[in-house]
Amino acid sequence: MVKETNKHSYTKRAFRGTVSVLIFSLLSAFMLYLIRMVLARELGPTEFGLFFAVFTFVSFFGFFKDAGLGYTLVKYIPEFEVKKKYHEIKSAIFSVFIVKLVSSSILGVVLFLLADYLSIHYFKDPLSSTILKFLVLMFIFMTFWEVIRTVFMGFQKMFYYSFMDFLSNFIVFLIIAALFYCGVGIMAPTYAYVAIGPIMFFICTPLFLKIFNFFGHKGKFSFHMLKRLFSFGLPILLGSMGSTIIAYVDVLVLMYYRTLAEVGIYNVVYPSAMVFLFFGKALANVMLPMVSELWARREKKKVAGALNFLYNNYFVFLMPIIFSVLAFAGLFISIFFGEDYSSGALALQILLIGVVINAFANINNSILVGIGKPRIVTLLVTLSSIINLILDVLLIPKFGIEGAALATTIAFTAWFLLSMHSIGKFIKAEIPWRNWLKVLISSLMFVVLVFFMKNALSLNVWLEIAISLITAGAVYLALIFAMKAIDLDEIKTFIRMAIK
C-alpha cells in the first residue's frame, strides 16, 4: 500500500467510508424495518414472538462458531496489506473459513438433535421444532457469506460491505413477500433466512476475487496462523458473547418468564430503538480497520484527534433524532406495526436512552480493538453482560419488557463508562462533559417544546408532528449555537472536505 502523505487523507477516507456505510445502513435498516413490519402484521404478536424467539436462540449460538475470528480478519488484513504479506492474508482467510464451517456444522447438528426437546421444555410450542431445524441450515450456510463480508471490511471496501448488507435484507424481504403471497405463513421468514446465505455467497464471490486475487497467492490452512489469530480472537469471543448477551438475553429471559406475545412486542421495540445506532455503527465499522492501520504506523495523534472530534460533535447530531422518536414513541409503534404492539412505548423510550450511550460504547470498542487491546474489550463487555443478565433475571419477572429495557440501558451505560476509562490509558481522549451538558439542556428544551406544541395544536396528526419537530428543532439549533456547544471551524473544515 502506498503511504498517504496528505494530512487529511485518513479523514477523507473515513468520511467517504462513513457516508457509504451510513447510506446503506439507512437503507438496510429500512429493509429490516419493512421485514419486521410485514411479519408483525401478517403473523400477530404470538406467532411473531415465536419466530423471533427461535431466531434469537439460533443467532445467540452464532457467536460460538465465530470464536472472535471475524474481528481478527478486520484487524490483520490491513496490517498484512501494509507489509505486502499477501500469502498471510490468504492463509488467514482460508483458516478462518475452515474453522467457522466446522464449528457451525458441529453446533448445527447439536441444535438439530435438541430441537424436539427444546420445543416442549423451553419454547413450549411444537411448531418451534420445525422452525429450529430449518434455521440450523441458515446457521451453517451463513458461514460462506459472513467470511466474505468480513474480508470486505478488512480491505476497507466499505461500499461493498455496506451495499451487500442492504442487498441481503432486500432479497430476504422479496422472498418473504412472495411466500406470504403464496400463503406459506409463519414458515415464510424461516425459508427466506435459510436461502439468503447461499444466494449472497454466489453474488459476492466475484467481488471478493476482484478485491483479492485469492488463487494468485500462496497460502493454506495453517495451525500457526490460527494460533496467532486465536491469541487475538479468543478474547474477542468473550467480548462478542457479552455483546450477544446484551442484545439477545432479554428475549431469552422473556421467553422463559413471560408470554410469546410479550416476546413479540419486545422484538418490535428493541430493533426500533437499535435502528438509531446506524450512524454509530457506521463510524465504528470504518474506524476499526483505519485505527488498526494508523496504530501500525504509530500515528497515535490522528487516532486521538478523530475520537475527540466524534465525542464533540456526534452527541449534537444524535440527540434531536432520539428525542424526536422518544416524544412520539407510542404513535411511532402504532403507525409502523399496529395497535397490538403499542404497549411497548415505555420500553422503547427507555431503550432510546440506552441507544445514545451505546453509540459511543461501540465507537470505543472499535478503537480498543484497533489498537490491539481485545482483552480489555473482553473484560469490559463481559462485565456489562453480567450486569445485564443479573438485572434481567431480577426485573423481567415483575416488570416484563420494561424491566428488560431498563436492564439493557444500565448495561450499556456500564459498558461505555468502563471503555472510556480504558481508552484514556492509551490515547489522549476526554469526554467533553461541558459540551454534553449544553447539548442535554438544549435537548430537554427540545422535548418540552415538542410536548407543549403537540398538546396545544389540534390539527392532522402528521401536521402536528411536522410543526412540532420543525419548531423545536429550530430552537435546539439556536441554543446549540448560542451556547457554543460545537466548534464551527471544525464543522466548516468537515463541510469543505465533504464538498471536495
What is the Cα–Cα distance from 255 to 289, expressed in whole angstroms?
37
What is the Cα–Cα distance from 15 to 23, expressed in whole angstroms?
12
**83 DSSP assignment:** T
Domain ranges of the chain: 26-431
**Alpha helices by DSSP H, 83-181:** 86-121, 127-154, 158-181
In 356-462 the beta strands, taken as DSSP E runs, fall at none
124-178 residue pLDDT tens:
888 999 999 999 998 888 888 888 888 887 777 777 888 888 899 999 999 999 9
- DSSP states of 455-492: HH--S-HHHHHHHHHHHHHHHHHHHHHHTT-S-HHHHH
Question: Hey, what's the cell of 145?
Answer: 457469506
What is the Cα–Cα distance from 472 to 453, expressed in whole angstroms?
9
The pLDDT of residue 500 = 47
Indicate the SS3 state at residue 425.
Answer: coil
The pLDDT of residue 232 = 63
The pLDDT of residue 199 = 93
The pLDDT of residue 5 = 44
Asked if 175 contacts 195 with a C-beta cutoff of 8 angstroms, the reply is: yes
Query: Which stretches of the chain score pLDDT less than 50?
Result: 1-7, 497-500
What is the Cα–Cα distance from 90 to 395, expressed in whole angstroms?
48
37-69 residue pLDDT tens:
899 888 888 898 899 889 988 887 776 666 666
CA dihedral 43, 48, 52, 55 (to 10 degrees): -30
Taking residue 496's Cβ as centre, other Cβ atoms within 10 Å add up to: 10
* pTM exceeding 0.75: no
The pLDDT of residue 193 = 93
Asked if 255 contacts 404 with a C-beta cutoff of 8 angstroms, the reply is: no
What is the Cα–Cα distance from 445 to 27, expressed in whole angstroms?
31
What is the Cα–Cα distance from 327 to 133, expressed in whole angstroms?
41
Asked if 75 contacts 292 with a C-beta cutoff of 8 angstroms, the reply is: yes
**Alpha helices by DSSP H, 67-85:** 69-82
